[in-house]
């Protein structure tokens, strides 16, 4: 197809228009039951009620003596009250022995309050004398006692469906006695590189060849945001091979297809022909830099994001479109990437009317954020991406940013969502 024909067929979208189209294809996936530690970072798919009081019984908040408050009313530094020690209680044990007037039971933190006792005097306010203990303070009823149900009441809703599980939620699930929990399953994301020049990372670089870095940076991004990467290797720039690899990926059951390369003006025919033959194209090209020749469509019922092959383009396209798609499938509703307003320390000129995402390093100094460019901004320069912690967003209508102007910066590292369960499983043995 002629370039002119193609650009007429597929009008260029703004980032917002493209994102809206992409997101209309995604919804939260089904729930699955997983061990609570694997729920970390995921969305709870059930309400969790506690079937128990926590703590289950009133217990001591201190190491000390369980006594009757009434026995201590006259006690003071000069007028100790002498009580007989009738028992010793460690955490994890209960006693039938009743504390009666004139007696005390030695008690450790966490041990249930023995019958009869209504308060605890900490060791610091006592002095032991063989079978006896001298109490040097008057304590009110309930002092140093954690009542039953102080934390959680039996029957209480402790975690609501839709909650993102953080370490404290994992702790709560364990506390109420859950070994497993229902969460939204993780999306399976197929990753396919294209290009006759692209070879595996451990293959020797024959003339004209480059390593497949895109599949790995994309896989790392998929993992970072909670998806499961399915590596499909590299397809030559040929309709047949691309079709076969895509079919093989579909056969593995995937929720999103990521293809890198083969969508620029010269190359688009291959991916476009495969999409047109086996599925449909929703849009091609977004008014942004890097990442303009972005293609989106569906194949075998699975949404497919065709990203330009340059190493920075794939990463930026992923952040803008694949990340919110993955989060949506995980049941996460807050899709905003954290941003800050920063003072740009470099001058930027351009005149293409696209939204630019510039690789910057942001630092905070005395309450202000400052951003400087991390180097060459070519779409193939991965080293300036390595040095960056943010992407400065230059709006379409700006033709120049003077040094010292304020810009919004999308922070790359502020929404860390690493899912460490592969390592957890290894640690478990
Ligand atoms: P394309 O979008 O296919 O025209 O690719 C643009 C450029 O990105 C190519 O010239 C390659 O240098 C580079 N590229 C394409 N695919 C990959 C890949 N998988 N890994 C690293 N670089 C790639
Ligand atoms: Mg290519």
Burial class (CB in 10 A: 0-12, 13-18, 19+), 334: exposed
Query: Does the CA dihedral 392-393-396-401 come out positive or negative?
Result: negative
Q: Is the CB of 309 under 6 A from ligand 1?
A: yes
| Domain spanning 339-423: CATH superfamily | MoeA, C-terminal, domain IV (2.40.340.10)
- Residue 428: pLDDT band (50, 70, 90) is low
Yes or no: say if 247 and 63 are a contact pair by the CB < 8 Å rule.
no
Backbone angles phi, psi at 260, to 5 degrees: -110, 140
Highest mean pLDDT among 4-8, 220-224, 290-294, 391-395: 391-395
312, 243 contact by CB (below 8 A): no
Look at residue 320 and give its three-state secondary structure.
helix
Q: What is the pLDDT of residue 163?
A: 96
Instruction: Please tell me the CATH superfamily of domain 3-29+186-329, with its number.
Output: MoaB/Mog-like domain (3.40.980.10)
DSSP 116: T
How far apart CA 96 and CA 86 sit, in angstroms, is 11
Does residue 317 have its Cβ closer than 6 Å to ligand 1?
Answer: no
22 falls in which pLDDT band (50, 70, 90)? very high
Per-residue pLDDT band for 416 (boundaries 50, 70, 90) equals low
Instruction: Please identify, by atom number, the ligand 1 atom nearest to the C-alpha of residue 215.
Output: 19
Per-residue pLDDT tens for 74-126?
Answer: 999 999 999 999 999 999 999 999 999 999 999 999 999 999 999 999 999 99
Ligand 1 atom 17: the closest Cα is on which residue?
309
Burial-class residue 208 by CB neighbours within 10 Å (0-12, 13-18, 19+). exposed
Alpha-carbon gap, residue 404 to 390, rounded angstroms: 17
Q: What are phi and psi of 220, to 5 degrees?
A: -65, -40
Q: Determine what percent of the chain is predicted with pLDDT higher than 90.
A: 89
Mean pLDDT of 114-140: 97
Between the CA of 237 and the centroid of ligand 2 the distance, in Å, is: 7
Reported as a single tens digit per residue, the pLDDT across 142-182 is: 999 999 999 999 999 999 999 999 999 999 999 999 999 99
Show me where the domains of the chain are located. Answer: 3-29+186-329, 32-54+151-184, 59-146, 339-423
Q: Which atom of ligand 1 is nearest to the CA of 266?
A: 4
In this predicted structure, what is the pLDDT of residue 6? 75
CA distances from residue 425 to 35, 168, 397, 422 in whole angstroms, order as listed: 11, 20, 50, 5
Of 3.40.50.150, 3.40.50.10330, 3.90.105.10, 3.20.20.10, the CATH number of 32-54+151-184 is 3.90.105.10
Query: Is 366 in contact with 394 (CB distance < 8 Å)?
Result: no
By CB neighbour count within 10 A (0-12 exposed, 13-18 middle, 19+ buried), where does 253 fall?
exposed
The CB of 291 under 6 Å from ligand 1? The reply is no
Write down the pLDDT at residue 396. 94
Pocket test for ligand 1, best of 212, 311, 312 (most atoms within 8 A of CB): 311
Going from the Cα of 347 to the center of ligand 1, the distance in angstroms, rounded, reads 29
Read off the pLDDT band of 328 (50, 70, 90).
Answer: very high
Give the pLDDT mean for 188-215. Answer: 97
- DSSP letters, 287-332, are SEES-TT-EEEEETTEEEEEE-SSHHHHHHHIIIIIHHHHHHHTT-
- For residue 252, report the phi and psi dihedrals to the nearest 5 degrees: -85, -5
How many other C-beta atoms lie within 10 A of the C-beta of residue 159? 19
pLDDT tens digits, 287-309? 999 999 999 999 999 999 999 99
- Does the structure show a pLDDT above 80 at 2? no
**Ligand 1 atom showing the smallest separation from residue 310 Cα:** 8
Cα 393 to averaged position of ligand 2 atoms, centre (Å): 27
pLDDT 10s digits, 239-277: 999 999 999 999 999 999 999 999 887 777 788 788 888
- Mutating to test ligand 1, I would choose from 272, 310, 385 the residue with most ligand atoms within 8 A of its C-beta, which is 310
The token duo for 170 is 């994992």
Centroid of ligand 2 to alpha carbon of 389 (angstroms): 28
Q: What percent of the chain has pLDDT over 70?
A: 96
| The CATH fold of domain 59-146 | Molybdopterin biosynthesis moeA protein; domain 3 (2.170.190)
**From ligand 2's centre to the CA of 32, what distance in Å?**
38
* E strands in 152-301: 157-159, 180-184, 188-194, 198-199, 210-211, 228-235, 256-260, 279-284, 288-289, 295-299
Q: Which ligand number lies closest to the CA of residue 291?
A: 1
* Residue whose CA is at the smallest distance from ligand 1 atom 23: 309
């Amino acid at each position: 197809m002629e370039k002119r024909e193609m650009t007429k067929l597929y009008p260029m979208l703004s980032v917002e228009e493209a994102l809206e189209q992409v997101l209309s294809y995604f919804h939260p996936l089904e729930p699955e039951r997983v061990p609570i530690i694997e729920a970390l970072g995921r969305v709870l798919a059930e309400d969790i009620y506690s079937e128990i009081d926590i703590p289950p019984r009133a217990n001591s908040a201190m190491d000390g003596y369980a006594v009757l408050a009434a026995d201590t009313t006259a006690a003071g530094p000069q007028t100790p009250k002498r009580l007989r020690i009738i028992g010793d209680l460690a955490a994890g044990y209960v006693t039938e022995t009743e504390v009666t007037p004139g007696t005390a039971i030695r008690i450790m933190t966490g041990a249930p309050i023995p019958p009869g006792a209504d308060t605890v005097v900490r060791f610091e306010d006592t002095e032991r004398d063989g079978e006896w203990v001298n109490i040097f303070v008057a304590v009110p009823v309930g002092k140093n006692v954690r009542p039953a149900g102080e934390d959680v009441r039996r029957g209480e809703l402790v975690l609501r469906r839709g909650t993102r599980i953080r370490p404290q939620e994992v702790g709560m699930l364990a506390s109420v006695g859950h070994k497993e929990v229902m969460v939204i399953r993780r999306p399976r994301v197929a990753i396919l590189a294209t290009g006759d020049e692209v070879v595996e990372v451990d293959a020797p670089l024959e003339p004209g060849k480059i390593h497949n870095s895109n599949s790995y940076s994309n896989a790392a991004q998929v993992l970072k945001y909670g998806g499961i990467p399915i590596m499909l290797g590299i397809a030559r720039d040929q309709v047949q091979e691309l079709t076969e690899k895509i079919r093989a990926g579909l056969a593995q059951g995937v929720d999103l297809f990521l293809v890198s390369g083969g969508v620029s003006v010269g190359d688009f025919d291959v991916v476009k022909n495969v999409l047109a033959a086996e599925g449909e194209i929703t849009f091609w090209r977004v008014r942004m830099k890097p990442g303009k020749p972005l293609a989106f469509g569906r194949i075998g019922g699975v949404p497919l994001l065709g990203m330009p092959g340059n190493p920075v383009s794939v990463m930026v396209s992923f952040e803008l479109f694949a990340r919110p798609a993955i989060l949506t499938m995980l049941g996460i509703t807050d899709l905003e990437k954290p941003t800050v307003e920063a003072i740009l320390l470099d001058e930027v000129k351009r005149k293409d009317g696209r939204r630019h995402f510039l690789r910057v390093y942001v630092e905070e100094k005395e309450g202000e954020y400052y951003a400087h460019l991390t180097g060459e901004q070519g779409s193939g320069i991965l080293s300036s991406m390595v040095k960056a912690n943010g992407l400065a967003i230059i709006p379409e209508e700006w033709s120049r940013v003077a040094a010292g102007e304020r810009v919004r910066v999308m922070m790359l590292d502020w929404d860390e969502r690493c899912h460490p369960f592969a390592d957890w499983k290894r640690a478990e043995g």
